[in-house]
Amino acid sequence: AQSVTQLDSQVPVFEEAPVELRCNYSSSVSVYLFWYVQYPNQGLQLLLKYLSGSTLVKGINGFEAEFNKSQTSFHLRKPSVHISDTAEYFCAVSLLQGAQKLVFGQGTRLTINP
């Protein structure tokens, strides 16, 4: 079975500072990797995904993530955050084979302080 661990439940940062949200996964087989964002009272929105190819993946809103197979990590980064980035961020995995069944981490709440 697959599992996802988001190492920080809350991350406070100042506006325009860089941020990294950490995600580690466990799986005996190859997986796809995703980051979703959830703004207050809204559903989840896909930020970016890693399916294959380059290990550095660029997504929407200036976010990027790097897949590290040896460390089974998929950390999310942004060089300069804005107030509007305040949200909950979820890392997820799904198997390469079969239907896309997402397994989510517990989430990281990103708070941007002015």
- Which residues contribute to the site for another protein (CB under 8 A)? 4, 9, 36, 41-46, 49, 90, 92, 98-107
Distance CA 37, CA 89 (A): 5
- How many angstroms separate the CA atoms of 20 and 102, rounded? 22
Q: Which residue number, 15 or 109, has a Cβ lying nearer to another protein?
A: 109
15 or 59, CB closer to another protein? 59
Rounded Cα–Cα distance for residues 70 and 81 (Å): 28
**Beta carbon nearer to another protein, 6 or 73:** 6
Q: How far is the CB of 99 from another protein (least distance, A)?
A: 4
Identify the residue whose tokens are 């997402």.
Answer: 102
* Least gap, CB of 96 to another protein (angstroms): 10
Whole-angstrom distance, CA of residue 45 vs CA of residue 27: 24
> Minimal distance in Å, beta carbon 51 to another protein?
10
